[in-house]
Structure 1
């Protein structure tokens, strides 16, 4: 597609009835961001009195650790909130009788099943509590014949069900194996 071509928009209503709807639950990432912000505030509140005391040379190592912990925790909180602001809290995928509909940040995109060109599901080999907490234990990339790319991860409630729905409705779809 060249830069002068306008992508064809498909009305989701033409894709039939909704078979299943899957919501992305990024709300569980909010407590992680707020927790990092609280840790940054507490460590900063404990570090400042050491810095202001007349004997700060005695607390040099503790002050350095406090500053680095504060910076790291604040940076983690900021990155988490920026990620949530960019991706949005509300995102849905709908498997319909004749296609797939994706809604994110007020933008609706739809494709009929025959336009799904390939799908690459990736399951992390070593899933830990941290990968599950940060929802990094599963990702799936879907490529369409018009060049569009759609990704979803473990944040999607029922992500494996959506993968199975795509496999069932797209026999022509190429499944790219994991490496």
Structure 2
């Protein structure tokens, strides 16, 4: 498996989720299975089947997180010599030149991307257009509605 780029905060979030799965959810599932077994006949025991499904999900997610973390390439943008340019992990404020709407995004890896928290994937059209640009640059992004122009207002490395 190749290296998976992650920000420092992304690694921390994944480690917290892994810890919660191992210390909270796994024991809860084990208890649910034990309680369902105590009810007797497992062939028609819906609680047992549900607990086993939940166990499979939890164990699969633990394995996935461990794999991701073991292949993580942690990138801290504050330590990069980026010379004021947008790089992986940078937080960028852009303005849509047509609508005047401003938005702030952090450019992250595919695994960390969450548009609700303004974290966009490095492979997204917006991030690809912004990478390597400086404050004041105007970029064109091919959107489903057509070509959009954005001005890079600020870049920070948090």
Please, what TM-score do these two structures have when normalized by structure 1?
A: 0.44
